[in-house]
Amino acid sequence: MKIMKIKIQSRTIHDKNLKDIARKIDSNKVQKLKIKNGIYFESLTAVRKILTDNRLNVWRAIRDKKPESITQLSEILGRGFRSVYRDVVLLKDLGLIRLTEGPGRRGNVQKLESLYDELALAVA
């Protein structure tokens, strides 16, 4: 099961962690660098602004229903194509889903795939 960690962490702690990684790389003290997977936000308010109920429903529908296209996804959700498309692009930019072009009934379509089975919220 693949889990995406959504973390609430102050900007200072996040920047410090990045600087520590950069120092280790610069000093060649790292044989193998393990980058922790996750999305970082500064507050729960910021998380809620990005991961709205509608966007989480889009992600769940992609994960569970495996629609063949964004058009089919908008039909499943009972929402307009444009608003669903905007949510899909944001979820793709966050790294939660993947879009690949493939053949459809009326030409090429954007195939949708969830990259994670679960989202986990953590406060650091």
Could you list the residue range(s) of the whole structural domain that residue 23 is in?
A: 3-123
What local confidence, expressed as pLDDT, does residue 119 receive? Answer: 94
Mean pLDDT over each residue of the chain, to the nearest integer: 86
Tens of pLDDT along 74-123?
999 999 999 999 999 999 999 999 999 877 767 777 899 999 999 999 88
What local confidence, expressed as pLDDT, does residue 79 receive? Answer: 97
pLDDT exceeds 70 at position 36: no
Provide the domain count of the chain. Answer: 1
Element (H, E) at 103: strand 97-104
Q: Beta-carbon neighbour count of residue 112 at 10 Å?
A: 25
What local confidence, expressed as pLDDT, does residue 1 receive? Answer: 86
Upper half-sphere CA count for residue 124 (Cβ side, 13 Å): 17
Say if residues 114 and 96 touch (Cβ distance below 8 Å).
yes
Instruction: List all residues 6 or more positions away from 119 whose beta carbon is below 8 Å from its beta carbon.
Output: 3, 4, 6, 51, 56, 59, 96
**pTM for this one?**
0.78
What local confidence, expressed as pLDDT, does residue 108 receive? Answer: 76
Residue % of the chain over a pLDDT of 70:
85
> What is the CATH number for 71?
1.10.10.10
Sheet holding 3-8, edge to edge: 39-41, 3-8, 118-123
Residue 50, classed as helix, strand or coil, is: helix
